[in-house]
Amino acid sequence: MHETAEDAMEETMRMLHVYADFYRETLAIPAIIGQKTEKEKFAGAKATYTIEPMMHNGVALQGGTSHYFGDGFTKSFGITFTGRDNTLQYPHQTSWGVSTRMIGAIIMVHGDDNGLVLPPKIAPIQLAIIPIAQHKEGVLEKARALYDTLSSQFRVKLDDSDNSPGWKFAQYEMKGVPLRLEIGPKDIENNQCVLVRRDNREKTVVSLDQLSTEIPKQLEAVHNALYEKALENLKEKTHTAHTYEEFLDIAKNQPGFIKSMWCGDVACEDKIKEDTGGVKSRCIPFEEEHISDVCPVCGRPAKHQVYWGRQY
């Protein structure tokens, strides 16, 4: 609760950017940021702001919303405070928070046919150590020594079970572990190991003396590559509609977001939803583009550019 509308709005926007920063910096997920239309905003809110990431199949997920309530609810509930001028006043409210749907976003943005792909900053295991030919003398000892050294710096799992290396590779790929470290008798002879990235399966031979600097470098590279891939997907699956015919054609044939102009009338949103079987406005982005002068649905002058899409 806040004394003034300005304070409440400041917090509403600040929290929206907390979400966006967290999605980008920690989850490696890009998103469109903007304001919900009157039709899609939270009932009773004066304004709803949202971040809208795109899942890898082109479907939108409302990643997190931040609402400015004004004093509507405090008036309904009779919540007051004594202002600086000694009169009773109604505080201005905000409402924000993200939920477990964020976990869904991680799975649906980064996952592939082999299972999870977890961003390194939140992966419960960042590095899986897999000994090769572990029955040979010295291999397990070396793998355990590496585990002891590295686990002070990273979240590490050593799998010294009797399962085959191939089984273990598949297991930690499925769990989305960002990096795998393979070490066998020949590696030990050469004071090296092999690092394999989960996201692109790129292998690097690394000297054991370089591990504490090489692993953070690779984890960062995985994070950046995940973000870039998701951003590329977002760009690739965002289409621009200049006419309503074009809009309907994209909605029918191409998964993803549609960018178009909009007159501001809820009737046009309703018509789009009905004609496309479920496409809704995602948001009016903070950075609007000028696509044309008119709303493609009704032909009247356009007020805003809107992102549209199907949602989970």
List residues near Zn ion by CB under 5 A. Answer: 263, 265, 268, 295, 297-298
Query: Minimum distance from CB of 295 to Zn ion (Å)?
Result: 3
Query: Minimum distance from CB of 298 to Zn ion (Å)?
Result: 3
Closer of 56 and 300 to Zn ion (Cβ): 300
| 8 A C-beta contact, residue 37 and residue 265 | no
Closer of 222 and 295 to Zn ion (Cβ): 295
Query: Minimum distance from CB of 264 to Zn ion (Å)?
Result: 7
Closer of 2 and 303 to Zn ion (Cβ): 303
Closer of 168 and 304 to Zn ion (Cβ): 304
Query: Minimum distance from CB of 273 to Zn ion (Å)?
Result: 13
What is the per-residue DSSP string for 37-99?
Answer: -TTTSPTT-SEEEEEE-B-TTS-B---EEEEEEETHHHHHHT--EE-TTSSEEPPBEEEEE--
Query: Minimum distance from CB of 40 to Zn ion (Å)?
Result: 16
Query: Minimum distance from CB of 39 to Zn ion (Å)?
Result: 13
Closer of 19 and 244 to Zn ion (Cβ): 244
Buried b (16+ CB within 10 A) or exposed e, 64-102: bbbbbbbbebbeeeeeeeeeeeeeeebbbbbbbebeeeb
Closer of 123 and 302 to Zn ion (Cβ): 302
**70 CB contacts (<8 Å, ≥6 apart)?**
5, 8, 45, 46, 92, 93
**12 CB contacts (<8 Å, ≥6 apart)?**
47, 49, 66, 67, 68, 94, 96
